[in-house]
Amino acid sequence: MMIWAFRQLATPCNYLRIRHGSGVLTSKAVYDFVLPAILAGLTFGVAVLFDLPLDVLGNNDLFGALSGLLSILIGFYMAALAAVATFDRAGIDNKLAGGDALLSVRNTDGPGRKDKKLSYRQFISYLFGYASFLSFLIYTVLLLSKSVWPKASAAIEALRFGNFAMTHVIEPASFALIFFFLWQLFLVSLLGIYFLAERIQELHES
């Protein structure tokens, strides 16, 4: 079994398992899930209201814009991750203020799991690691879909009720899913910029 390999490759996704704050609306989950879902829903509503195409993968203009943006962001996230991982500033290895950022990890001293308290450096590294992973994943999906999607959509539409399924199920669902992750990437990026622009500047040895 190569489960260990998948665990290592999926390590950036541990950012989503970090707990900071209590409650859904007063914790990190707001940036990770609540706001992206709300914004994706609003985007979907605006698209339906103004009769905009929901076929994201078949929209060449939108496809080109997203691909170009993501190719730039991937480099930015990787550079930010490298900078934070090697950054030498007083207090960057302190635990987060205003409540611990906790990540459940395997207990190396015994059975089960335990909560690990993250420092600013660790939290921001996980944040930009996930942003790098997500942007690279979306970019790869878009590139692969560029060649696969036309053939797949044609095959689906050739089936009985295929046109209905494509128009009322597959295209809306793919639109909502893609924009959920795009909005999540946007909000995670803003959170990372906030930490770099403000929180780190206020750090000091304690």
Share of the chain above pLDDT 90, in %: 47
* Residue 148 belongs to some domain of the structure: yes
- Domain boundaries, position 54: 23-94+120-202
Residue 133 lies in a domain: yes
Mind listing the pLDDT tens digit for each residue in 30-39? 999 999 999 9
CB 8 within 8 A of CB 2: no
What mean pLDDT is reported for the chain?
Answer: 88
- % helix / strand / coil in the chain, to the nearest 5? 70, 5, 25
6 within a domain of the structure (yes/no):
no
Q: Is 160 among the domain residues?
A: yes
CA distances from 183 to 116, 117, 156, 177 (A): 28, 27, 28, 10
* pLDDT tens column, 87-110: 888 888 999 877 889 999 887 777
For the cut 70, the answer to whether the pLDDT of residue 205 exceeds it is: no
Higher confidence at residue 203 or residue 99? 99
Instruction: Note whether residue 159 is domain-resident.
Output: yes
Q: Is residue 4 part of a domain?
A: no
Indicate if the pLDDT at residue 200 is higher than 70: yes
Q: Is 105 helix (H, G, I), strand (E, B) or coil?
A: strand
Q: Read off the pTM.
A: 0.91
Domain-located, residue 70:
yes
In whole angstroms, give the CA distance from residue 50 to residue 72: 30
More confident residue, 165 or 23: 165
pLDDT digits (tens, 9 = 90+) for 141-175: 888 888 888 888 888 888 888 888 888 899 999 99
Could you tell me if residue 134 is inside a domain? yes
Mean pLDDT lowest among 2-6, 174-178, 185-189: 2-6
- pLDDT tens digits, residue range 50-95? 988 888 877 778 888 888 899 899 999 999 999 998 888 888 899 9
Confidence grade of residue 184 (pLDDT, cut at 50, 70, 90): very high
Total domains in the fold of the chain: 1
DSSP-assigned beta bridge partners for residue 27:
21
Is 99 strand, coil or helix?
coil
Rg for the chain (alpha carbons), in Å?
20
